[in-house]
Structure 1
Amino acid sequence: MKRTAQLRLRGAIHHLGVRTWFMGVVNVTPDSFFDGGKFLEPGQAVERGLELAEQGADILDIGGESSRPGSEPVPAEEELRRVLPVLRGLRRQTGVFISIDTTKRAVAEAALDAGADIINDISALRFDPSLLALAASRSAAVVLMHMLGTPKTMQSAPAYGDVVAEVREFLEEREAAVMAAGVERERIIVDPGIGFGKRLSDNLSLINNLSVFRDLGRPLLVGPSRKSFLGALLDLPAEDRLEGTLAASVLSVVRGAHILRVHDVLAVSRAVRTAEAVLAEGREAGPPDESEVRHAG
């Protein structure tokens, strides 16, 4: 069974685990690994966000800096130039929750002022420690993600003794640090960081053992969407990894994920809803009786 977890957003408590939430990706970048350059114009990005919301996204995750392996950091000014018009446009036109994908306080603060609800920080609020004070002073939720090194270095021979145990320990430590800074526990989401400083075997092991993170008692976000581990597994480019994404997404939900960060909200939500309907029956089917077999024929 998936353990439920409480999340405070906009002053209300949401009980995650009754159904899976979907975080739709809106990349306003020229170099993201899958959709880089597709939505650089604010109007295009807003249209894409509205499309994802219509497809069933509960959260829209807006990012102005690529975190693909080997990517270089972007100045805060450029990141703001990319994301703020999109965030403001979406905030005017949709009521879904909005997260800002950033590691910088200046970007996060401007995004919160423009109506963002969540800070999604791939560094778990480590790259810019002043984000701790900002998160504590505002009502936004925060996503704490595990990553080795930086996006530029994370895939340079990552190694673990026990990846599941080490990622869990990291998330526990970051949760404690963020709470010590004054962030309420009900505003914390954890993410094991699929594809961020992980080998193929590490990613597969994390997905297969997501249940280990249930005891943290926090909403669990997983982002397998079109990632390079699927490319390594299936020998396919990003544009051909939808089927792998569907399988990884469904298995993530079965193993305990509360939120899926994906590019293909419609396809993933249909696959997950089907799996949830099967799991909700709560029983195993026995062999069909003869009348069922005859009727089926």
Structure 2
Amino acid sequence: MSARSVIVTGAGQGLGRAHALALGRAGFDVVVNDVGDAAHAVAEEIRAAGGRAVGHPCDVADWSAAEGLVGAAVDAFGRLDALVNNAGIVRDRMLVGMSEAEWDDVVRVDLKGHFCPLRHAAAHWRERSKAGEPVDARIVNTSSGAGLMGSVGQGNYAAAKAGVVALTQVAAVELARYGVTVNALAPAARTPMTEAVFAETMARPESGFDAMDPANVSPLVVWLAGEESGFVTGRVFEVEADRVGICDGWRFGPRRSAGRRWRVGELGPVVKDLLSEAEPPTPVYGA
């Protein structure tokens, strides 16, 4: 069997670059995507190390450009086996001061920028499946602790990354029939998006294990993109430093039934009882 082919979006720097390099070392054929020439530079790094890679700069939140990105993988390597959605931006602001553009830009890149490549890759795999070809494909999305728990000053980013989790769960069910698994990461690492905001936490140590090195996240990406991970879908993995864990999302909690429509005056004590029985929510980051 030929090498597996993978697209990595937002791979010009930070986590995406680390993922692309790790996938190249693992023998994947890599399509390196970013909005600028850094995509070509990272592809050249992979080729210099003996791997196969092409750079394909484009805006992944543009419908036609995302379709072209999927086509570029098939044209370059004859197949597409995995999509790593990593592209993202931040425009941090407290909600009362956030502009419409700051909201729209983040939701566009971080959420629509996941949907567009996913949609076109899924259509490609569906077509192959319906033609009777075997499909064993993977999608790895990128959420965030902000999307799972919320983050003060990042309402736009948190909403987009929470949307990525919901998109992952729906896509995992809808695409299973075509041989596609869909999972998500909530990584913590030093990137251009985090090192300025969390400078002390993200600082590189003078010696020893670099806990915030983005390359710490990449081994799980390589595994999830590979053939061995076919039994896992619809899950969210937290990855930081030397730790890998599963994040469980919303679940049904305690309930009460009146057997009829509730009266407004009855609900205060009922809600108090429900809250006393429910697990307290995980605190929002920065609260």
TM-score, length-scaled by structure 1 = 0.38
Q: Which has the larger radius of gyration?
A: 2
Give the structure, 1 or 2, with the largest relative contact order (CA under 8 Å, sep 6 or more). Answer: 1
TM-score, length-scaled by structure 2 = 0.39
